[in-house]
A and B are shown apart, each in its own frame.
Chain A
């Protein structure tokens, strides 16, 4: 009896494995994707459990051990206030990852909704949205974010909202283009002929088909968000001291770089670089798999 029940499932599994592999399995075969995910995972773990992993309190000042180079006691040395740089780098993953993640989520959700409306409804929404995209594109991201954060005053919430708002029209533009392609498909005409509501068609019929585009946009924008947030922190308009933050720590310490105290800026800088490179490895792999 059990054999009879099991029989139909086996051939199905075989054909699907021989034919098209599910996308996530194609991803797992790419070494660049694995490397990117591992680095990303490392920083996510640091962001969540950083305070438990860090060998020392990232805020504790040892005024007798300031400006010490890397050693066994302090792997990455100490900063100008005698704080352990290694601990600050581990714990510093939290602020940038949290802010970048929420900013990108806001931008992606709002941008996808706007892009669906622009592409599917067209008309006035499309024209106004198009102008909005142009105006936002007329300035580099860092400058727009800088301008508004300076005007409103730096706080994590401000940065999340400003970057989310700037991303919205940019993501909307990409989603709109994908929706325009979908509009030509037969399944949409049949949905319309069936008398489905416009909101239902947009979110239930079109949205699942443009999701790969949305996913790629999310990862690409996440990289840009980290770039912008780190830059704002470096300029002193991001996360404020004494909270451990890579950009802010660089901002405070790069002045003593010419004096030879390189460790307090170089290690946070490498942390930022590794995070952006990891996200790009992941993005690149996802794009390759979707394209193939």
Chain B
């Protein structure tokens, strides 16, 4: 098992390197001349050249990439061009805000999704199953800002029961902060519900059809006992992987929700960086999302191995 985990960590590092190249290319190479992009078409060539030199983009690409990557490894994410300040503290503050919102959505959606999936599987092929499956799938593919707008119109504009902005303002009490996060959490919950329910459903159906479930039923165990002890224990294993993967996705998918509800998280940060052509901030933000996403996937894989006795006892590889 240790070799498997080591191999998995190694692969994650390779992917991380590929990702850093991808982000570097997108933020440093594709925009063409960053000095021109920042200053606009009316700026004088000498001003553009001076800014290019200050940003370091007139040096060879490999050298630029090396400076950028080694800087990040030392905790230096570069200088933000819009704030003229180090990028790091902005990323940190935004990430904490995003995690608060993500945590709230997560705590609600995980039990909901698992229960939905298991109920669908136990009613396999019946209307309850079809409704949960199709509704879950639709909720998953409807963009966050669409469900977000519906939620705002209903609760914020028509009923006026909840605030439509996610920011409670500085020094707000935890209760008030929580109240402001309820509406933004709903679109995220809708998106994740479908994924989690689908996995829980597939896992439960598979273990309902397995030999050990048949044996347990033929042994004369009550259906509730069979489901609790034999079916659920096996079916929830793959679901754990999906749940952890979705944690990373959740943080990425926050861009839309944070922009819509004007919440100061990492998604809003990279959106503002993009609109003001602040490429160091954009690169750092996207890379951070990638890292969080990858760590979540890695943890999910390792958790899956540790929880699965067949793999834990040396069956893997």
Judge if A250 is at the interface, Cβ distance under 8 Å. yes
> What 1/0 mask marks residues of chain B from 146 to 164 whose CB sits below 8 Å from any chain A CB?
1101101100111000001
Number of interface residues of A (CB under 8 A): 44
The binding surface of chain A is classed by DSSP as: helix
In the bound assembly, the distance between CA atoms of A112 and B275 in angstroms comes to 35
From B50-58, B99-107, B222-230, B288-296, the one touching the partner chain is: B288-296
Contact of A134 among B15, B134, B143 (CB under 8 A): B15
The smallest beta-carbon distance between B137 and chain A, in angstroms, is 5
Q: Determine the chain A residues whose CB is within 8 A of the CB of B143 once the complex forms.
A: 227, 230-231, 234, 272, 276
Judge if A101 is at the interface, Cβ distance under 8 Å. no
Judge if B133 is at the interface, Cβ distance under 8 Å. yes
Q: With A135-B22, A140-B253 known to touch, is A262 a contact of B146 (CB < 8 Å)? A: no
In the bound assembly, the distance between CA atoms of A276 and B134 in angstroms comes to 12
The smallest beta-carbon distance between B286 and chain A, in angstroms, is 6
Judge if A281 is at the interface, Cβ distance under 8 Å. yes
The smallest beta-carbon distance between A19 and chain B, in angstroms, is 22
Instruction: Specify which of A139, A152, A254, A273 lies most central, judged by the most chain B CB atoms within 10 Å of its CB.
Output: A139
Q: Establish whether residues B149 and A139, one from each chain, have CB atoms under 8 Å apart when the complex forms.
A: no
Judge if B38 is at the interface, Cβ distance under 8 Å. no
> What 1/0 mask marks residues of chain A from 54 to 97 whose CB sits below 8 Å from any chain B CB?
00000000000000000000000000000000000000000000
Q: Determine the chain A residues whose CB is within 8 A of the CB of B23 once the complex forms.
A: 147
Task: Tell me which residues from 18 to 37 in chain B have a Cβ below 8 Å from any Cβ of chain A.
Answer: 18-19, 22-23, 26-27, 30-31
Kindly report which residue of chain A lies nearest to residue B164, judged by CB atoms: A258
Q: Determine the chain A residues whose CB is within 8 A of the CB of B18 once the complex forms.
A: 131, 134-135, 138
Contact of A280 among B31, B137, B260 (CB under 8 A): B137
Q: Determine the chain B residues whose CB is within 8 A of the CB of A131 once the complex forms.
A: 14-15, 18
Q: Establish whether residues A257 and B150, one from each chain, have CB atoms under 8 Å apart when the complex forms.
A: no
The smallest beta-carbon distance between A213 and chain B, in angstroms, is 17
Q: Establish whether residues A147 and B26, one from each chain, have CB atoms under 8 Å apart when the complex forms.
A: yes
Q: Determine the chain A residues whose CB is within 8 A of the CB of B149 once the complex forms.
A: 250, 254, 257, 265-266, 269
Contact of A266 among B16, B133, B153, B293 (CB under 8 A): B153
Kindly report which residue of chain B lies nearest to residue A281, judged by CB atoms: B134
Judge if B196 is at the interface, Cβ distance under 8 Å. no
Q: Determine the chain B residues whose CB is within 8 A of the CB of A281 once the complex forms.
A: 134, 138
Q: Determine the chain A residues whose CB is within 8 A of the CB of B27 once the complex forms.
A: 147, 151
Contact of B146 among A138, A223, A236, A273 (CB under 8 A): A273
Please name 7 further chain A to chain B contacts, defined as beta carbons within 8 Å, in addition to the given A148-B30, A151-B26, A273-B147, sorted by A numbering: A230-B146, A258-B157, A265-B149, A272-B143, A277-B141, A280-B141, A284-B134
Q: Determine the chain A residues whose CB is within 8 A of the CB of B142 once the complex forms.
A: 227, 272-273, 276-277
> What 1/0 mask marks residues of chain B from 74 to 113 whose CB sits below 8 Å from any chain A CB?
0000000000000000000000000000000000000000
Q: Establish whether residues A142 and B26, one from each chain, have CB atoms under 8 Å apart when the complex forms.
A: no
The smallest beta-carbon distance between A26 and chain B, in angstroms, is 15
Instruction: Specify which of A138, A250, A266, A276 lies most central, judged by the most chain B CB atoms within 10 Å of its CB.
Output: A138
Judge if B306 is at the interface, Cβ distance under 8 Å. no
Q: Establish whether residues B145 and A143, one from each chain, have CB atoms under 8 Å apart when the complex forms.
A: no
> What 1/0 mask marks residues of chain A from 266 to 285 whose CB sits below 8 Å from any chain B CB?
10011011001101110110
In the bound assembly, the distance between CA atoms of A16 and B162 in angstroms comes to 60
> What 1/0 mask marks residues of chain B from 112 to 151 whose CB sits below 8 Å from any chain A CB?
0000000000000000001001100110011111110110
In the bound assembly, the distance between CA atoms of A7 and B145 in angstroms comes to 61
In the bound assembly, the distance between CA atoms of A152 and B279 in angstroms comes to 12
The smallest beta-carbon distance between A148 and chain B, in angstroms, is 6
The 4 closest A-B pairs by CB, nearest first: A140-B252, A151-B30, A135-B18, A150-B274
Judge if B271 is at the interface, Cβ distance under 8 Å. yes
Judge if A32 is at the interface, Cβ distance under 8 Å. yes
Judge if A28 is at the interface, Cβ distance under 8 Å. no
Q: Establish whether residues B164 and A143, one from each chain, have CB atoms under 8 Å apart when the complex forms.
A: no
The smallest beta-carbon distance between B117 and chain A, in angstroms, is 16
Judge if A146 is at the interface, Cβ distance under 8 Å. yes
Q: Determine the chain A residues whose CB is within 8 A of the CB of B145 once the complex forms.
A: 230-231, 234, 250, 254, 269
